[in-house]
Structure 1
Amino acid sequence: MNRARSREVAMEIMYQLEIHKAYDQITMASLLSHYEEILDLDYVNGLVNKWIENRETVESKISEHLKGWKIERLARIDLAILRLGVTEMLYVENVPNKVSVNEAVNLAKKYVDEKSGKFVNGVLSHFVENK
């Protein structure tokens, strides 16, 4: 069970739920069924469910740490990555903040570019400093 891949799948599902504006278990299970590889399903489900249950708090924390940006202006993939990072840092106790930030930055570099990685690092590092 690769934790990094499980985070990536959780981020992809968060992204897709936002695109569909559907934040329910049925949609989540349907999206998850498209992944055939072995994942830490409990971890993926836990992250996505914590985000669904606490969307307002997570969005608020992201908004608080954006400098010169409004959350509505963010690229959806950047927002999904930030949601993943903040959700993990707020609600997953056994993962160090440094790991959450690093994994989110890696996802930003993979899915967008180096510039996005720096942006995600800045927002999440600011969040950690003020947590």
Structure 2
Amino acid sequence: MISRNQSHYIIMSAIYIELADFNFAKNELSRPSEEVIADLLPEGEEITPFIRDSVNLSLFHYGEIVEALSPYLINWKWERIPLLSQAILLMSYAHFYYVEKGKVDKKVIINTGVELAKKYVEEKQGKFINAILEKVIQ
């Protein structure tokens, strides 16, 4: 069974891969999300609804999420934010507003994003992610 922490890592990674591989010319993903997720799972594990929903809703609502985050990106443009930081922001926003629909305390969502940032992005980016999530998740 996949732990919640493992699930968050898989979600972040799948979103990152989809962002990196996105075909802008055709406005489409290069591979279905299910394939990307399956490649990230430990052998013998199945895709959980939480993982599938988190990845799919992050990508489906991409435009809305970027629009919601943009006012808080002081002196930054979304396109200039490193893809892994984008993935953490997308995942956190989607988790709160679309997956859990406000049923999970915002502090838990923010903490999850910050913990991923501490492990996988530069310290400066981690602080940036924390500041953005504190403002946008209400």
Q: Same fold (TM over 0.5)?
A: yes
Please tell me whether residue 34 in structure 1 is matched to residue 35 in structure 2: no
Deviation of the 1:40 alpha carbon: 6.5
**TM-score, length-scaled by structure 1:** 0.87
Normalized per residue, which structure has more helix?
Answer: 1
Deviation of the 1:6 alpha carbon: 0.7
Unaligned runs of 5+ in 1: none
**TM-score, length-scaled by structure 2:** 0.83
1:69 aligns to what SS in structure 2? coil
Q: Distance in 1 between matches of 2:106 and 2:32?
A: 29
Alignment CA distance shift 1:108-1:55 (3 Å): same
Which residue does 1:89 correspond to in 2? 96
Deviation of the 1:113 alpha carbon: 2.8
Q: Percent identity among equivalent residues?
A: 27
Unaligned runs of 5+ in 2: none
Aligned residues: 129
Q: Distance in 1 between matches of 2:136 and 2:81?
A: 17
Deviation of the 1:36 alpha carbon: 3.6
Q: In the TM superposition, what whole-angstrom CA distance separates every residue of 1:17-57 from its partner, at most 9, and x where no partner exists? A: 11110655x52121112234347611110111111221111
Q: In the TM superposition, what whole-angstrom CA distance separates every residue of 1:97-123 from its partner, at most 9, and x where no partner exists? A: 111110101111101132222111000
Contact 1:81 1:107 in 2 (8 A): yes
- Equivalent AA in structure 1 for residue 88 of structure 2: I
Alignment CA distance shift 1:97-1:39 (3 Å): farther
Which residue does 1:10 correspond to in 2? 11
